[in-house]
Chains A and B, each alone.
Chain A
């Protein structure tokens, strides 16, 4: 188990390194471009060269990469070009808002999809299963920006009960979180419900469930003790693994509702060319994705005795 843990750890560190190198290659291999971005479009060639010299950009590429990576790790993420403020406190504040959004969405999605998926898988083919399945396929077919449009039309423009933007102008407000969370849960839960259902239905037809039933166990006990654990392994690990899909959805929703969060910040930085915010933000998002992969792998091994005691 420890062995597996270390191997996975090694693998994600490796992936993280490769990605950081690729990112550095994308962002900073063209030195003049960097200087241009920092100094503005109207700076002269001469100014740019001086800036490069002064900021150590004439060192060998690999050395610059090591330096950059070191700075990132210790938290020195540079200054925003757009707002002229240090990146770190700004980014962390945005990240906090997004963590609230993401956390809510993840837990609600988990709750809905596991409960609905299990029920529908246990009663495969019955009316409840069919209703859940149809509901799930309907909601997964409405992408975030479409459901946001529909929900905004109803709750913002027609009923007028919810705000259409989540800019937190007067500080954090729960009311402004409702629509973004709703949009993301609606779009995401269907997919995981369907997966949980498939997994549960498969386990329910397995031979060991038959063994348990023919041992004379109560149906509820068969489902809870014998089927559930085996059925949840796959959906749970995939759900954790796909945290980065959630992050993508978060970006869209934050843009739509002008939610003051990490995703909107990343999007703005990408469009503006705010180099240092973009660098830090992509690194953070990749770190989250890689870490969730690690959690998912280790979780899978923990849940599955065949791997734990392989």
Chain B
């Protein structure tokens, strides 16, 4: 498409890299917000751990040591292994499961959040810009989906689709959160669709698709980025929660929710194995919430 090529050239006089740089500078403004920095630190902690975990000298998270069941913090196993956070009811190293579990949860949470965003965002863009029957139909669909309590939706979608699996989790998250994203995007678009620069694009005969993607979408990115951070937090909770309820990512892969559910069956013997994943998810979600707060605070200053 040479057509598009020229368009692109006409649109951006700055090279692509410098635009990324501008975005980075904006995000870097978060230094000025104290809560934002704390959030950044927490998120970065889990992000970095998740990325480098294969290179860390940890136990195999799936390996069971029948000799070392439900050990407390900082225990030595019989064969000389050292379990920093102890072991769970099957003698698996909690630290290894925690870090690998974080990687798993973060990966699936990000993926499902993005899928839900693409679906909900596209719906919201179309309904908000085109209005008319598109809006009526899509809004009705969103209202129908929003009428399901989220948990009921998860239960229905996952049992209907045939049980726990990563793909089904993505479906469930999309069904449950895309309508909410739809509402946000639609509202933002409705707010700016009557701006003069949109009229200007219309009166020079731009295609509606181009108006939606090029003229409108970039102007709502600020609130959407903030919402994405918050929503990544909710989605993380969801992924862990589904694991806890036994309808999420299938075991034995380590997953914070499954870890809690497994340990819970053993009463006070499982308290140690239960606390760590609970703390882990809380710190990650807190980090995302604070990061989003910081971003909002910084962006409001402009």
Contact = CB atoms under 8 A, between A and B. Distances in A.
Q: Do A and B share a direct contact in the complex (Cβ within 8 angstroms)?
A: yes
Contacts of A225: none
Nearest to B261: A145
Contacts of A147: 278, 282
Interface in A96-145: 134, 137-138, 140-145
Interface in A5-57: 15-16, 18-19, 22, 26
A150 interface: yes
A143 B280 CA distance: 11
A293 B286 CA distance: 30
A146 B278 contact: yes
Given A149-B274, A153-B271, A270-B156, A137 B289 contact: yes
A96 B275 CA distance: 32
B133 to A, nearest CB: 16
A282 B159 CA distance: 13
B252 interface: no
A103 B267 CA distance: 29
A288 B246 CA distance: 26
A235 to B, nearest CB: 17
Contacts of A26: 156, 160
Contact of B147 (A19, A134, A273): A19
Given A137-B290, A137-B293, A157-B271, A142 B285 contact: yes
Interface in B153-178: 155-156, 159-160
Contact of B275 (A15, A134, A153, A293): A153
Contact of B150 (A18, A244, A282): A244
Given A15-B147, A286-B148, A289-B149, A145 B260 contact: yes
Given A15-B144, A150-B278, A255-B245, A145 B257 contact: yes
In the complex, which range does the number of interface residues on chain B fall in?
35 or more
A150 B150 CA distance: 24
Contact of B237 (A143, A266, A282, A286): A143
Given A248-B150, A248-B152, A267 B245 contact: yes
A247 B151 contact: yes
Interface string B264-302: 100110010011011101100110011001000000000
A231 interface: no
Nearest to B238: A143
Interface string A247-280: 1110110011000000100110011010000000
Contacts of A244: 146-150
Contacts of A150: 275, 278
Contacts of A288: 149
Given A15-B143, A248-B152, A286-B147, A149 B159 contact: no
Give 9 nearest A-B pairs by CB, closest first. A141-B286, A248-B151, A146-B278, A149-B278, A244-B149, A247-B149, A270-B155, A143-B237, A157-B268
Given A22-B144, A145-B278, A267-B155, 7 more contacts: A19-B147, A141-B289, A157-B271, A245-B149, A248-B149, A248-B151, A293-B143
Interface of A: 15-16, 18-19, 22, 26, 134, 137-138, 140-147, 149-150, 153, 157, 164, 244-245, 247-249, 251-252, 255-256, 263, 266-267, 270-271, 273, 282, 285-286, 288-290, 293
12 contacts: A18-B144, A142-B282, A143-B281, A146-B279, A153-B275, A245-B150, A248-B151, A267-B155, A271-B246, A285-B149, A285-B152, A288-B149
